[in-house]
Structure 1
Amino acid sequence: MPVGYKPTVFVSSTCFDLGQVRSDIKDLIQTFGLEPVLSEYNSFPVSPDTDTISNCLRNVREKADIFVLIIGGRYGFQTNNGKSITNLEYLEAKRKNIPIYVFVNTGIMNVLPIWKNNPDADFSSHVENKKVFEFVETVSHFKSNWVYKFDSASDIKSALLQQIPYLFMEALEARKKLKVNEVNLPSDLFPPKAARLVIEKPDGWEYLLFAFLCKEYLGRLEHKKFDLEYGISFNNVIEIEEPQEVFNWITAHNNEMLKLIRITTTLINDAAIKSLGEPGVEGDYRQIQHVCQRLLEVYEQIINWKLSFTTLEVNEDFEPILKVLSGFADDPLAKIDKFINRVHFEIPEALDNIALSGEQVKLDFTFSLESPDINGFNRELKKLGDLYFQNL
């Protein structure tokens, strides 16, 4: 965290019916020396190239350190999936695993049991949309949420005045744990969210850490993915004129790709599983980080391997086999991308479902790669052999 950085508090609610409440909470947040993030103020960071929903979710994802959710009688604008923006902001905060304080209007909390027993009744005097009850029911079931009732902004302010200082105490306790247990969490390897997972160890923290670090490290290679898309390489051009030397280059590169494929499958199917720990046994955060780092290093090596074809100049007779060979990188890159995106979304979702239902969830992340086009490679290899070496 940069020196001088102020922790931010994202306030999520329906703006229209709770405008004064939000204004009062903003003032309170500032009295703590924290930075309030509210969408109706000019200080709310906006990207002009994205829509309202994307901007809100991005600010939760990138800015929020603490999340305050206030639920009144309005559900708000519904997105295509039927969820409100407030609902999506809350889910984003849950995925981020930051402290969340939930405040629900007392009238709604009092009527909630009646709605559960008779959901088809008319509750228009209490809520604009019955989805408000569904939303409250959802947030109430998360064991990590403590839901507060409120009638006015003063109720929310009073609760936050009591609770936020506890966060500072938790931070001091975490600092003490780091020193006592000699936990080493370099910021370049363990961003704040990763460090929090290691220190606080919520249920399934090993899996959350693995999913987060894989996605985090993949994001750091975005520039390499663009290089691959546009065929950009700053390596020196390699000119090979002798056919036998070209064959040697092709053989070496084929062997290198097979090695990278073996490393990838070993990391995901063996090393990752061991790092997460056997059932009932805690995983090792250092091993988890090591596996994630090595996986993305292999990913980068595969990109560099494919880019090496862009700086190779040989006789045009070799172009067909080089095209087939360079395609050997496509399946590993696509499968690693897919794997990382799957664990990033499915692991937090599964843990949320477990918290809600208490039932076990089984996920299968077995990693397998398609066999390279060996037949096509061998056909082109034979053509070249007949062309250059048939008289030898």
Structure 2
Amino acid sequence: MPVGYKPTVFVSSTCFDLGQVRSDIRDLIQTFGLEPVLSEYDSFPVFPDTDTISNCLRNVREKADIFVLIIGSRYGFQTDGGKSITNLEYLEAKRKGIPIYVFVNTGILDILPIWKNNPDADFSSHVENQKVFEFVENVSHFKSNWVYKFDTASDIKSALLQQIPYLFMDSLEARKKLKVNEVNLPSDLFPPHATRLVIEKPDGWEHLLFALLCKTYLDRLEHKKFDLEYGISFNDVVVIEEPQDVLDWITSHNKEMLKLIRITTILVKDAVLKSFGEPGKQGDYRKIQHVCQRLLEVYEQIINWKLSFTTLEVNEDFEPILKVLSGFSDDSLVKIEQFVNRVHIEIPETLENLAHNDEHVTLDFTFTLESPDVESFNQELEKIARLYF
């Protein structure tokens, strides 16, 4: 965490009916010396290249250290998936694993049992949309969150005044555990939530750590993805004039890509499972971090491999075979990215469902890389041979 960094508190709710409550909570957050993040204020970070929903979720994902959820009688704007922005923000905070404080209007909680017994009845005098009840039911599950009732902003302020100091004490306890157990968690390798997982070791912490670190490291390579999209490389231009030298370059790069594919397969099919430990035994956080780091290093190497074609200057006769060879990387890049994004979503969701249902679930961590288009490559190679040899 950077020196001078203020932990941020993201306040999530519908704005229209809870405007004054949000304003009061913002003032309280500032009295703690924390940084409030509320979407209606100019200080709310806006990323001009994305829409409103994406902006909100990105701020939860990248900025929020503490999440305060306030549920009143309105559900708010529904996305195409049927969930409100507030609901999506909450799910993002759950995936991130940060502390969440949930406050629900007393009137909504009091009528919730009646709605559960009569879900088809008319409750329009209590809520704008009955999805409010579904949302409250989800967040108030006994294994999900501690839920506080509120009638006014002072109720929320009173609860936070009690709870934030406890959070501070948790941090001091975590610091003690780090020292006693001599756990080395460099901040550049372990973001705050990853550190918390290693220290507290909740059920399934190894899988959660793997999902979190993979996603963290992938997001750090976003600039490389943009370089690839725009064909940007700052490496020196490589000019090869002799046909045999071009073929040597092609052969070398072909072998390098096959090696990277092989490393990816070893990491995903073997190293990941070994890092989690034998059944009934805890995994090794150092091995989990190592596997995540290596997997995304391979991903970066594959991007660099493909970008090397943009700085190569050869006779145009070689362009068809170079195009085919360059495509050898495409499947690996797509599959690694899909794999990381999939486990980032599915692992927390699966563990959450297990906490609710206590069902046995088998997680599949493998993926299959397609074989390169060797036939097209060999056809182009024969054409080159006829031209020059």
1:69 maps to amino acid: L
Q: Structure 2: how far apart are the matches of 1:359 and 1:312?
A: 55
Does 1:297 find its partner at 2:290?
no
The answer (yes or no) to whether the contact 1:142–1:355 under 8 Å persists in 2 is: no
Identity of aligned residues (%): 84
In the other structure, the counterpart of 1:2 is 2
1:35 positional shift = 2.0
Q: Compare CA radii of gyration and give the structure with the larger one.
A: 1
Q: Equivalences for 1:92-103 in 2 at 5 Å?
A: 92-103=92-103
SS, match of residue 80 in structure 1: coil
How does the TM-score come out when normalised to structure 1? 0.93
Q: Equivalences for 1:252-267 in 2 at 5 Å?
A: 252-267=252-267
How does the TM-score come out when normalised to structure 2? 0.94
The answer (yes or no) to whether the contact 1:13–1:69 under 8 Å persists in 2 is: yes
The answer (yes or no) to whether the contact 1:210–1:289 under 8 Å persists in 2 is: yes
In the other structure, the counterpart of 1:343 is 343
Structure-2 change in CA distance of 1:269 and 1:157 (3 Å) = same
1:148 positional shift = 1.4
RMSD: 1.9
SS, match of residue 102 in structure 2: strand
Gaps of 5+ in 1: none
Residue deviations 1:84-129 (CA, integer Å, cap 9, x gap): 2211111111111111111112222121111111111222232222
Runs of 4+ aligned structure 1 residues displaced above 4 Å come to none
In the other structure, the counterpart of 2:112 is 112
1:231 maps to amino acid: G
Residue deviations 1:198-236 (CA, integer Å, cap 9, x gap): 222232222122112112212222222222223222333
1:54 maps to amino acid: S
1:374 maps to amino acid: V
1:245 maps to amino acid: D
Gaps of 5+ in 2: none
Does 1:323 find its partner at 2:323?
yes
1:140 positional shift = 1.1
SS, match of residue 268 in structure 2: helix
Count of equivalent residues = 389
In the other structure, the counterpart of 1:242 is 242
Q: Structure 1 stretch 31-40 or stretch 252-261: which is displaced more?
A: 31-40
Does 1:139 find its partner at 2:132?
no
1:48 positional shift = 4.2
In the other structure, the counterpart of 2:50 is 50
Q: Structure 2: how far apart are the matches of 1:236 and 1:32?
A: 52
The answer (yes or no) to whether the contact 1:57–1:88 under 8 Å persists in 2 is: yes
Structure-2 change in CA distance of 1:13 and 1:323 (3 Å) = closer
1:53 positional shift = 2.2
In the other structure, the counterpart of 2:198 is 198
Structure-2 change in CA distance of 1:46 and 1:252 (3 Å) = closer
1:52 positional shift = 2.8
1:142 positional shift = 5.6
Q: Structure 2: how far apart are the matches of 1:238 and 1:61?
A: 41
In the other structure, the counterpart of 2:38 is 38
1:289 maps to amino acid: Q
In the other structure, the counterpart of 2:355 is 355
Structure-2 change in CA distance of 1:63 and 1:320 (3 Å) = closer
